[in-house]
Amino acid sequence: MSAKVLVVDDESDVVRYFTAVLEENGYATVSAADGVEALAKVRSEHPDLVTLDITMPNESGVMVYREMKGDAALRAIPVVVVTGISHSFKQFISSRSSVPPPEGYLEKPVTPDGLLGEVKRLLS
């Protein structure tokens, strides 16, 4: 049974790109276009890993991340933060005492090798 990755991004092109790369490499995927949908899918689909965009409508990736890491049933799911925001965001999110730093971090534009490298590292 292949690992399931939840791809969360409000840009449909990014979702299609990530989904294609992951599925071509044997992963099952589900997707969400905003934070509200992402939280619902995390709870209903039980993914093995989440790729999480930060800047999204309805509920930001930061809020999704905080909610996941604050929920005992969800906190063990590894999260790869994917963002076009500058590298200083990684330092910011990693410095929050209320939540642990994300397990992975990718800056846009993301290469197929970069995406697969993080996914494989976190799911091995």
pLDDT in tens, the chain (124 residues): 699 999 999 999 999 999 999 999 999 999 999 999 999 999 999 999 999 998 888 888 889 999 999 999 999 999 999 987 655 655 666 565 677 888 999 988 999 999 999 999 999 9
Structure tokens at 20: 């294609």
Report pLDDT digits (tens) over 93-114: 656 567 788 899 998 899 999 9
Q: How many domains does the chain have?
A: 1
Domain that holds residue 73: 4-123
pTM for the structure as a whole: 0.91
Residue 95, domain CATH:
3.40.50.2300
| pLDDT digit string, tens, across residues 64-74 | 999 999 999 99
Distance of CA 115 to the CA centre of its chain: 11
Interatomic CA distance for residues 23 and 103, integer angstroms: 21
In the chain, the amino acid numbered 124 is S
> Are the beta carbons of 79 and 42 closer than 8 angstroms?
no
